[in-house]
Structure 1
Amino acid sequence: MFPTPEQIKKYIADGLACSHLEVEGDGQHFTALIVSDAFAGKRPIQRHQLVYAALGDRMREEIHALSMKTLTPEEFQK
């Protein structure tokens, strides 16, 4: 059974405080727009690591591919 975009969204939201979160996908490939204060002062790779940590083992077991755009609330407003 493949995860739905709604499930991926819940997984991320459960592990990372987000002010805005969008997830789209077809069950194997997903794209996400993630806005969080936790990204402040972090490089893109560090931001992605925070999302991977929120997803935990699901990244290896359930999710085939995830493309992310990670922004702070200030970056999102621009």
Structure 2
Amino acid sequence: MKENGADCDEMEQLEKANMRFIVSVANQYQKQGLTLEELIEAGTKGLRKGAMKYNLEADFKFIAYAVWWIRQSIMQAIEEKK
């Protein structure tokens, strides 16, 4: 099954490979109304969105691009909770 051109197995691998990074970013947003689990879930959604939009021919690493999407997704989840 494909998700916007990305294989679901590949997306799972990407999530697993970057989970420690997502957790470290999520930790920065604790005590703002969401549990750590909810923050991680939001960060994972951001990682997926970043993966869908990433240009493989870009001059920068994927994680440098994805961190923006991870943070945006977490901040959006916090705002929605308020």
TM-score by length of 1: 0.30
TM-score by length of 2: 0.29
Higher strand share: 1
Higher helix share: 2
